[in-house]
Amino acid sequence: MATATQPVNDLRISPLGRVEGDLDLRVTIRDGVVTDAWTEASMFRGFEIILRGKDPQAGLIVTPRICGICGGSHLYKSAYALDTAWKTHMPQNATLIRNIAQACETLLSIPRWFYALFAIDLCNKKYAHLPEYDEVVRRFAPFVGTSFEPGVTLSAKPVEVYAMFGGQWPHSSFMIPGGVMCAPSLSDVTRSIAILDMWKREWLEKQWLGCSIERWMEIKSWNDMLAWAEENESQRNSDCGLFIRFAQRAGLDKYGQGVGAYLATGTFFEPSLYEHPTVDGRNSALITRSGIYDGSSFHDFDHLNVREDTAHSFYRGDKSLHPWQGETDPIDPLEGHKQGKYSWAKSPRYDVPGKGAIPLEVGPLARQVIAGRPGNAAHQDYDPFIMDAIKTAGPSIFTRVMARMHEAPKYYAMVRKWLDQIDLHGRFYNKPVELESGRGFGSTEAARGSLSDWIVLSGGKIENYQVITPTAWNIGPRDRLGRHGPMEASFIGAEIQDPTDPIEMGHVARSFDSCLVCTVHAYDEKTGKELSRFRIGEMG
């Protein structure tokens, strides 16, 4: 426990994540508690500049290369951005295939993220005194853990289904305006069912849950979940049951709260309601809904309320623009530092009625909070579990992890339903009219959160293209009013037990699963002395 006599330090961690890119974290520590934080994206992307003046369909090829993990999600929203700009007619089969592909990419990420990126930190020596520690190390230790290898290996199964429809994964471009470039056979569908059933049986039910997905889906509240974990030996000894006990003993329910406000742009469309994709008709056609929860009230999502703030980002000026008017005008970071800028990430904000443009967390926790909003249509997801968790236990690393793992049985059930609905004799593509001008908006929920494209066409070319990723929503720097981004806010208040091994910062960052490799640097706040520097983003 920190005392009033302990010094004030800065901590700089580099890298912090385990995926790709570069993210530095600098935190100030007073009496053993983080009092301030700066997240610094240290890599320039510039895909928006690449796309200027290109053919309108260039986004279908270029944007999936933004990420090697969420390439399918980039393709999904890029295709819908052009669908809305060109006013296409979408066969219902094409919507089903797009839904299946998007969901399968997310199903890949759930176990892979837990075992390969998050759970290995639970083996840190900080927890050696806990009664479950030896079992946690036996199961979750990297490469040698008894759950690590099957968890990581089986995670690849869902994208085998993606590759069957998309021709390849990652970096497929099979979703095109007006549909998809595939016409699956009965064999493709039955193979997909067999692959996903094997994934469900061998990992989801046997290893992770220790019960059927139907039993897990009976959980409607945080207390339901805690009771489930003690219901029988199979569930208690599952990886999920072990994690629930360990997370509470390790205090993962005590920090990492964040801004307490959430955004989901939603994903997956009811095929009969989105045959003519439009921006205005998007919300009502969604299956997993869009929306904003500002900490006390729900609001409908309107993309026109999105802004990109560049006050502390390495871009010219101090602007807050909607992405259709967005600018990507980079400056030398050395010059940017003189202006108080410290990150290549912009600061996405959403103008909430009565509250102004505020930072919002995106990701599985946000999605499942929005899923708890009453008033859903018959085709839309309603699930009160995680909303109850927020009210009962509050946001934390623990609730963020459980929200993500909760999506595995939900998305599996959705995909199985969509596979059964494919009409093998129906159409999968309608050739669109390639309009020379127009504006479009496409969005989805990648595994890590809301991912959106805005496109402006003029003279048959791309005049402007802006991409806002979930990592930008979460790790963006302070805005013009000095408000922290969601991840910066999540670090504040965390107790650092050992400044030479700040595993607590790794837990917070990886609960967001930021798609950036990160660095943390530690400083003494009183003396300005750098205490230590960590690179905790590599697998080995």
Report the alpha-carbon distance of residue 238 to residue 242 in Å, rounded. Answer: 6
Say what the pTM is. Answer: 0.93
Q: Which of 464, 462, 456, 473 is nearest to 513 (CA)?
A: 473
Report the alpha-carbon distance of residue 117 to residue 510 in Å, rounded. Answer: 7
The residue written with tokens 């994208």 in the block is 159
Q: Which of 52, 53, 84, 48 is nearest to 63 (CA)?
A: 48
| Percentage helix, strand, coil for the chain under 3-state DSSP, each rounded to 5 | 40, 20, 40
Report the alpha-carbon distance of residue 236 to residue 219 in Å, rounded. Answer: 15
Report phi then psi at 455, rounded to 5.
-130, 140
From residue 266, give the alpha-carbon distance in Å to each of 215, 288, 290, 300.
26, 5, 4, 11
pLDDT per residue rounded down to tens, the chain (540 residues): 334 445 567 777 665 655 554 678 889 999 899 999 999 888 888 899 999 999 999 999 999 988 778 899 999 999 999 999 999 999 999 999 999 999 999 999 999 999 999 999 999 999 999 999 999 999 999 999 999 999 999 999 999 999 999 999 988 999 999 999 999 999 999 999 999 999 999 999 999 999 999 999 999 999 999 999 999 999 999 999 999 999 999 999 999 999 999 999 999 999 999 999 999 999 999 999 999 999 999 999 999 999 999 999 999 999 899 999 999 999 999 999 999 999 999 999 999 999 999 999 999 999 999 999 999 999 999 999 999 999 999 999 999 999 999 999 999 999 999 999 999 999 999 999 999 999 999 999 999 999 999 999 999 999 999 999 998 999 999 999 999 999 999 999 999 999 888 899 989 989 998 765 444 444 555 555 555 555 543 332
Q: Is the dihedral of CA 488, 493, 494, 496 positive or negative?
A: positive
